[in-house]
Amino acid sequence: MTLPRRKTQQVMVRNVPVGGDAPVAIQSMCNTATTDASATLAQIEGLVKAGCHIVRLAVPNREAVKAFANIRKKTDVPLVADIHFQADLAVAAFDAGADKVRINPGNIGGEAKVRAIVDAAKKAGAPIRVGVNSGSVEKEILKKHGGATPDALVESAAASVAMMQRLEFDNLVFSIKASDVVTTIQACRAFAGQFDFPQHIGITESGTVRTGTIRSSVGLGTLLAQGIGDTIRVSLAGDPLQEVRVCKEILKSLGLAKGPTVIACPTCGRTQIDVAGLAEKVEDMVAGMTADIKIAVMGCVVNGPGEAKEADVGMAGGKGSGEIFVRGEVVEKVKEEDMLDRLMAHVHGAITNVE
């Protein structure tokens, strides 16, 4: 079953289409200092290898602009410059080769400053992301609504739409984020009902890998299931590689991205193998694959093949031995120490058949 997608305008972030009929793109943000070009380039490479399509870099000062320009020369990955407070840095970022610049309407300044950014974007032929954030909504809007409510966030975004229309600029992506999941869902849904600009969606400051994954999955999954969202980011405290992995699983769960799906039983008293450990190893081993196959790791031979009969390939472990099955049929009995290798051999065989 294919979920319906909301039809939006399409923009190009370097060579990645965003909106329209394009697939949902995965974004992340480097947590290295942009001025440390070598570390930032290494992290960009790792993010792309993990499945990231667009990478954002913090540009807080002129030194970071210079480093951004150097990084731009050494990678073809679409790069977004993240700008706050200083409109001149946004202009400089476009001059440095930014494929998109993210500005915050709550702190970037008035229309004259935004005009300079728009002029630079037009010259570069690149889009601007207007990033409305619950932590920095304009004071007068907060006062009117009594806080960073969904209506307040949408009003802030709508004011930016009106400004951009006056400046005759529509090469835009919008994001409306809050740390509260329900607020984010309601605001993004309301904006989508009024405008057809592509949306970048996410839960800002969502938390650690454990809590942030849950909260982001609920928020992004809800919006994506309603057809809202053209690019996504899962904002987690820690290694940004985890963000990309979670994004991929969210998209795969909704049929919006391709790649192997690993399922595993929750285990019970019959379990005699390390299901969680084996499943994690399998996930790591198939992380770079793109074939749409389902792989099952089950804890016993009693229910394993039956419960995972929809899997393309699976294994069910017992004491000292286990079984490899393909679409519910046992095809091989193996020793415990050989289970992982034999499972992966059948996985590669299944991928060959799929391709």
Domain boundaries, the chain: 10-253, 261-354
Tokens linked to 81: 């410059």
Q: Domain 261-354: what homologous superfamily?
A: Sulfite Reductase Hemoprotein, domain 1 (3.30.413.10)
CA–CA distance, 185 with 176 (Å, rounded to integer): 9
Tokens linked to 227: 């057809």
Cα-atom radius of gyration of the chain, to the nearest Å?
A: 23
Q: Are 26 and 245 in contact (CB under 8 A)?
A: no
Q: Is 174 helix (H, G, I), strand (E, B) or coil?
A: strand
Q: How far apart are the first and last CA of the chain?
A: 21
Domain 10-253 has CATH 3.20.20.20: yes
Q: What angle is formed at CA 24 by the lines to CA 23 and CA 30, rounded to 5 degrees?
A: 130
pLDDT in tens, 51-108: 999 999 999 999 999 999 999 999 999 999 999 999 999 999 999 999 999 999 989 9
Q: Are 126 and 196 in contact (CB under 8 A)?
A: no
- DSSP state string for 99-121: SEEEE-TTTS--HHHHHHHHHHH
Q: What are φ and ψ of residue 10, in 5° steps?
A: -115, 135
pTM of model > 0.85: yes
Tokens linked to 57: 């870099």
Q: With both helix axes pointing from N to C terminus, report the angle between 339-354 and 275-286 in degrees, rounded to the nearest 10.
A: 40
Region at 74 (left for phi over 0; alpha for psi -120 to 50; beta for the rest): alpha
Question: Between the CA atoms of 158, 93, 82 and 155, what dihedral angle is there, to the nearest 10 degrees?
Answer: -10
Residue pLDDT tens, the chain, 355 long: 678 899 999 999 999 999 999 999 999 999 999 999 999 999 999 999 999 999 999 999 999 999 999 999 999 999 999 999 999 999 999 999 999 999 999 899 999 999 999 999 999 999 999 999 998 899 999 999 999 999 999 999 999 999 999 999 999 999 999 999 999 999 999 999 999 999 999 999 878 999 999 999 999 999 999 999 999 999 999 999 999 999 999 999 999 999 999 999 888 888 888 899 999 999 999 988 889 999 999 988 777 777 777 899 999 988 888 899 998 888 999 998 999 999 999 999 888 765 5
Q: What angle is formed at CA 23 by the lines to CA 21 and CA 24, rounded to 5 degrees?
A: 120
